[in-house]
A and B are shown apart, each in its own frame.
Chain A
Amino acid sequence: MPSTAFHAPDTVEDAVALLSADPTARPLGGGTDLIVQMRSGRLSPGAVVDLKRIEGMSGVRRDDEGFVIGAATPCTALKADAALVAAWPGVVEAANLIGSVQVRNRATMAGNLCNASPAADSVPALVAAGAVCVVAGPSGLREVPVEAVPVAPGKTSLASGEFVAEIRLPAKPAGGGDAYLRSTPRTEMDIAVVGAGVSLVLDGEGTCTSARIALGAVGPTVVLVEEAGAALVGTKLDDDALAAMSKAVQAASNPIDDKRGTVSYRKAMAGVLARRAVLIAASRAGAKA
């Protein structure tokens, strides 16, 4: 890894300037993808810009609209925030399926998102939850829905000089619940064969008033399946509604065959996992069993 510079700026503006000055420069959060890719030779950035010395980049805070998660917040730190766990257990659980404890003590959801793997565990959960990124760049700050960040395996919609500075989650809606499930051959240290994130809201009668369902590892990017959420809205999550939701999930799945799973297995499992995740989210939303 020749001639890579290391910078640890203490302001967002300095980080943007450093990233803008060299299109090959990369922001460093936890490094669990970036450093692996540098060591393998897949990436040779001209500069590494460590975000962790910037105030506000590490940790979870509340504001009027919900939760603000600094880009450099490690996944294990999310579990320590009781309010976040209570509001978005599916997101926190998804982030804490990644790698090992060692990895999760460094790895961040912003990094998981910007690595742009279709199998990123935290991303379907964030998309389902309606999370928004605050992206810092040469023209200031802009907000981008999480689902608009990955555009292809390993590629994001971020422009040169831009980086994700925060992930924002709304406050928990009344009657809301979320969940994320993945299928892996092993329970730990594995990569999702299929992942399904669900967030839904039930009214006092148990009728679903909104639902978002996002899938991982069944296409080139994590995908929000609007038809699947729509199949649940207005129902009490009866068998017919769940079947229609699963069908919409399978129709939106466009996976590849690889060593982790076949196309037909992934499509079938996407429907199964989405159904199970809906039921968990519903029980968290207060549905009667």
Chain B
Amino acid sequence: MSKIHVSTTVNGDATEYLCEPTSSLLDVLRDTMGLTGSKEGCGSGDCGACTVVLDGEMVCSCLVLAAEAEGRTVATIEGVAEGSVLHPVQQKFLEHAALQCGFCTPGFIVAAKALLDRNPNPTETEVRYWLAGNLCRCTGYDKIVRAVLDAAAELRQERTPA
């Protein structure tokens, strides 16, 4: 079976790749493009470690075929920081020690940013429901939720300067 040529946009850059018909977007991001921030946890859409934003909506990249990305826009964890300046969600994860092994962290950060991009003032309940598709086996979630709420507060301040 011949490979499929795909033109897409990843983290703002126009990109082309060749993929197998059944390769996942996650496979291509990691193995072809070297963007290894997105992780494969379960491969079945349960854990969220592979979360990316596809045309503005967060999805599990393990459950997207790479060929589907033709003409679409993909945003990964690698595009969250601006150069060496961490995004507030990333900074707050560090400050709150919201990670231990770190495997789930890229997915959580992409998902949390997707929440704050559309809801700058979520309740704790809204944060917990939004992140229900991201599994963490280290932290017990509480520090993650606090980090996200704190990042939301900081982003609100940035958006409305005194």
Interface residues of A (CB under 8 A from B): 1-6, 8, 28, 30-32, 35-36, 38-40, 48, 50, 52, 74, 76, 99-103, 105-106, 187-189
**Stretch in B42-50, B76-84, B87-95, B136-144 with 4+ CB within 8 Å of A:** B42-50
Q: Are A4 and B60 in contact (CB under 8 A)?
A: no
> A103 contacts which chain B residues (CB < 8 A)?
45, 60, 63, 133
Counting from the closest, the 7 A-B pairs by CB-CB distance are A100-B133, A188-B132, A6-B21, A105-B57, A1-B22, A6-B67, A102-B133
Task: Count contacts on B: residues with CB < 8 A to the other chain.
Answer: 29
* A–B Cβ pairs within 8 angstroms, 7 of them: A4-B21, A36-B43, A50-B65, A102-B58, A102-B60, A105-B57, A187-B132
Q: Are A39 and B133 in contact (CB under 8 A)?
A: no
Q: Which residue of A lies closest to B22 (CB)?
A: A1
- Label chain B's interface by main secondary structure: mixed
* Minimal beta-carbon separation of B61 from chain A (angstroms): 9
Q: Are A101 and B70 in contact (CB under 8 A)?
A: no
Interface residues of B (CB under 8 A from A): 1, 4, 21-22, 24, 43-46, 48, 51, 54, 57-60, 62-65, 67-68, 70, 111, 129-130, 132-134
Q: Which of A6, A30, A35, A101 contacts B130 (CB 8 A)?
A: A101
- A77 and B44 alpha carbons, distance in the complex (Å): 22
Beyond contacts A38-B22, A50-B65: 11 other A-B pairs, Cβ-Cβ < 8 A, are A5-B1, A6-B21, A6-B65, A8-B68, A31-B64, A50-B68, A100-B45, A101-B58, A101-B132, A102-B45, A187-B132
Q: Are B65 and A188 in contact (CB under 8 A)?
A: no
Q: Are B132 and A35 in contact (CB under 8 A)?
A: no
- A74 and B43 alpha carbons, distance in the complex (Å): 20
Q: Which residue of B lies closest to A35 (CB)?
A: B63
